[in-house]
Chain A
Amino acid sequence: MEIAKIAGKNGRENGVLINVKDLVKIYPTAANGVEALKGINLEVHEGEFLAIFGKSGAGKSTLINMITGIDSPDSGEVQIGGASIHSMSDDELTRWRGRNLGVVYQFFQLLPTLTLVENITLAMDFCDTYPLAKRSERALQLLDQVGIREHAHKVPSKISGGQQQRVAIARALANDPDVIVADEPTGNLDSQTADDIYDLFSDLISLGKTLVIVTHDQEIAERASRILEISDGRIISSRSNDAPSNDRSAHEATLSLNCVSPRIQAAL
């Protein structure tokens, strides 16, 4: 893990963490291939909060799946931290993703039979990132960080959707990755809960994480520091958002109160 990270850091140019070049994806159908992505070029800087915005079918989910390596492009390249992720073998990519990328899904996707703590330690277990004896402790701290420590030993079906998404975010943080990627993370939540989740995302940015989210909701997109609009497989606009509509004063920064940076923890 350390080697990958060091290699990644050395490969970064001008603070560019994610570099997408000429990405093309065609979904084959018997009738005619559907071009989901028609040559995407994109750079994401360290510490950026990028929103990829577009209508259904615009290709934004396809793009994010290329960045997480869940789906592979027909041509073009994705480099994250200097690593060309689509040139890796399946297992290499899986291991790399587990350690360097946290993924948050619209439907939370927690494992139903495991408790919340176990859902988080599982990620550490697969990647073998923290000593066995330390994992539960770290998972509890992460749950604390997302504000649901009191439910730590419940199974996912016993908590609400918003709480499940918090656990999913804590799980994404389990191996202390540099990048968090989220596909419609609040698509299934009511507006109040969604607000809470975005507050949590803002906290992550302040901790130095890079965040990429996908949404079809303009309002949500406005909360990011940069908004990329995509339509019919092309980027049609990219603009910085100097004043993210994130009213930090409206809520207490949970992070600053009760969280020790995972990096510091890792060093402990």
Chain B
Amino acid sequence: MHIPTRWIKILKDIWSNRSRSLLVIFSIAIGVASVGMITNAGILVQRDLYGSFAEGNPASLEIYVSPFQRDLTSAVDAMREVEDVQARRVERASVLNAEGDWDDLTLNAFPDLTDLKVNRVDLVEGRMSLGVREIAIERQSAEGLGLAVGDTITVKMEGDRAYDLDIVGIVHDLYGMPYALLGEVTGYVNLESLKWMGKPSYYNKLDVVVAENKYKQAHVLEIGNSIRDRVIEPSGYRVGSMGIPGLGSDPGKHWAEDQIDGFLLILQIMGVMAVLLSGGLVVNTVSAILVQQIRQIGIMRSIGAVRGQLIAMYFFNVLAYSVLGLAVALPLGLLGSWWLAEFAAGFVNFDLTTVNISWQVLTLQITLGLLMPLGVAIYPILSGTRMSVYDAIYQYGIGSEGSGWLDRALMKVRNLAPPIVLSLRNTFRNKARLVFTLLTLTLAGAMFIAVFSTRASLTVQIENVARYVTFDAALGLPYGSRKQTVEREALRIHEISAAEGWAQSIGVIVREDGSESGELEIVGLPYDSVTIDPLMIKGRWLEASDTSRIVVNDDLLDEESGIGIGSEITLKIGNRERTYQVVGVTSKHLSGSRIYMEYGSFGQLTNRPNQVDTIRVRGNLETIGSNAEQDVIAFQLENRFDNASLSKSSSITRHAIFGDFTDVFDLILVVLMIMAGLLALVGGLGLTGTLGINVLERTREIGVLRAVGASNVSVRQVIVFEGVVVGLISWVLGALLSGPSGRALAGAVVNAVMQADLIYTYSFTGLLLWLVVIGLIAVFSSLAPARSAVRLTVREVLDYE
């Protein structure tokens, strides 16, 4: 086979400089693969999660109703606005785990699990047609507890009676909160089993799919209101609460869709950065090749190569890198997307059907992988092939002095030792290359600091939320209890020095025009509560005399317009209405719209004086206890209430609330840190490349340094100092950029994970840490070029006169 020699030359060049070729190939591959991985994972999740979510007929509305029977279901189903409705009974219970502790269990009771109309579950193993004393377990819960078909579990209901049930099926429920996230077990029984366990066989929840506009929140809520007003309440039932399923997502959408999309978007941005950086590396390497081959280019021109042929040769070189890079990137991207989608699947409990790469992603990767390197190589190739034969052969090897304003300014730098002056002026000699290197390092630095700022912001954000839960442990009282009783009972525990009963209810605001707001939470608490430390953004907190004054949170201000300090608002719980004056606004704290009022006035509004729904306790009034202390207090509280035969749900500790949160954040931060680390790595490689080319370009000068008496150390110093100068400049630029980039990243993460407004905190720790990291990068990046500079002997350098 005859291949024109000039292509052979390029192929041999690629082969003879394998480590450099691999570096470029991998840097192209990393950029392209990460974009492919993220885009394809997005498509996979879209298809398999959102797709199978839609297949199970997701509820657009869930309504908790006082116990009801089948007739209500039929009545709701008969409404024209309702497409489908499914009734169930939801019971809170506990299940004994292998360690002998009780885990929270949500029991869903249906007449027939195999015939659900809304939020359908799928069978994984065993059977779904349940008999009495039989239970089906959600697969993630089963996996988490190590349960299988054929096992028997002990379930404890309200009032402490325990029942043994046989597991006959493992099912997959895409509509509940997964065990992996909440640590709550989900189980399914039939109504007969529920009866056997001492519960009435009434339903208490309706899952509704509305007929039209099922994805429009306002419309869906409106229909919810009309279901309540036209069917439920006229039938004599009471609505406990009503809302869109999920964590504030839109109706008909998977509860984590916004979070997943947000997270994918952040990764996408990172992917784009990776592509930019790999582009920088390609530029660097192509420049290095051209610099190294200047003399060869001169020779080729002298034996008849016109510039077009040379340009084509070096583009062919880049194309070869691209093709090889793509060959690595395509499978890597596919594997990565598989991993990422699998990770998401494990986290939110869905199944990946097939892992394939869509043609859009393929096209995107190929276009990116081919065009990006070729595009960025245009400048170095055109400028590298422009040199005349004369310059290439006779003038090359000793650099020329710069002549811009910067160089003139640097000429004014006097009174420094010439070796330092040399490094300093060398740094600015090739401006285009310097700009590229700085760009890479600055970007890496800005991202690095941004990740730290994100972490700092999240910490502050969580701390701000934590101010609203300054207790060691709390206990839910599902049916309400007398305030004095529970507080006295709690205070009998030696370790507890403060106990507060809080009352909660769902209510609405009645606007001046008579319309009602969406549901909001109303809390009655001691005005001098020690288990909350509210962050007031306007006005003041409650005082003893505030019998008809309330404090609202910032979420409410977002929901309801026209509310401010001094506003009079009318609250409605059930049929009772009262008007209050707003005296303060607290910060948002992941609670949704909430109103705080003095405990006494709350009792008047609800007509449940002396009743509380939660008991919140503190061991020490000065500080919050350690995790272990919190656990002890929680344990004692539960025991005490059990002994006193007070109805209660399981306790919660402060660290348990924030533990889950920080787990999710830590995960995201780890991913971001890995990305920032990669950026730093690529930046370091870029710096190595740049200094390497600088050494190559100035071999003769290094020979001269040798000739006039520079020791190994001195030669190294000149190169390393240059690297450090570049590193420091990039640090300053990165520091400037890190403010806005940190805000953007932290905002995106907080928005994706918490769906909350950002409280931005800049991380000076990150800034200083990056200074250390960039210093190390600069030194380490310059070591290899410095070593090759030291290895140059004067004779080699001055040989080609």
Contacts and interface: CB of A to CB of B under 8 A. Distances in A.
Interface of B: 2, 4-6, 8-9, 12-13, 15-16, 295-296, 299-309, 388-390, 393-394, 800
Contact of A90 (B295, B307, B309): B307
Contacts of A103: 302-303
A125 to B, nearest CB: 4
A159 interface: no
Contacts of B303: 98, 103, 122-123, 126-127, 171, 174
A65 B390 contact: yes
Given A65-B390, A70-B390, A121 B5 contact: yes
Contacts of B394: 65
B542 to A, nearest CB: 82
A132 interface: yes
Given A118-B9, A122-B6, A125-B5, A111 B307 contact: no
A174 B305 CA distance: 13
Contact of B4 (A99, A112, A113, A125): A125
A126 B300 contact: yes
A122 B11 CA distance: 14
A125 B6 contact: yes
Contact of B301 (A94, A118, A121): A94
Contacts of A258: none
A70 B393 contact: yes
A215 interface: no
B9 A94 contact: no
A107 B296 CA distance: 12
A95 B800 contact: no
Contacts of A198: none
A175 B303 CA distance: 9
Given A113-B16, A126-B306, A71 B390 contact: yes
A267 interface: no
Nearest to B389: A70
Interface in A92-141: 94-95, 97-99, 103, 105, 107, 109, 111-114, 118, 121-127, 132-133, 135-136
Interface string A66-103: 00101100000000000000000011001101110001
A87 B402 CA distance: 31
A94 B5 contact: no
A119 to B, nearest CB: 8
B2 A114 contact: no
A236 B328 CA distance: 66
A99 B295 CA distance: 20
14 contacts: A94-B304, A95-B306, A98-B303, A98-B305, A103-B302, A105-B393, A107-B800, A109-B393, A121-B5, A132-B2, A132-B4, A133-B2, A135-B2, A136-B2
Given A65-B390, A111-B9, A121-B5, A91 B304 contact: no
A127 to B, nearest CB: 4
Contacts of A174: 303
Given A71-B388, A97-B302, A133-B2, 10 more contacts: A70-B389, A94-B305, A95-B306, A109-B393, A111-B300, A112-B296, A122-B303, A125-B6, A126-B6, A136-B2
Contacts of B9: 111, 113-114, 118, 122
A107 B299 CA distance: 11
A2 to B, nearest CB: 15
Interface in A117-169: 118, 121-127, 132-133, 135-136
Given A70-B389, A125-B5, A113 B12 contact: yes
A112 B389 CA distance: 18
B304 A175 contact: yes
B301 to A, nearest CB: 6
A137 to B, nearest CB: 11
Nearest to A92: B306
A99 B304 contact: yes
B402 to A, nearest CB: 15
A122 B301 CA distance: 11
Nearest to B11: A113
User: Most chain-B CB neighbours within 10 Å: which of A94, A171, A174, A175?
Assistant: A94
A109 B389 CA distance: 13
Contacts of A125: 4-6
A114 B5 contact: yes
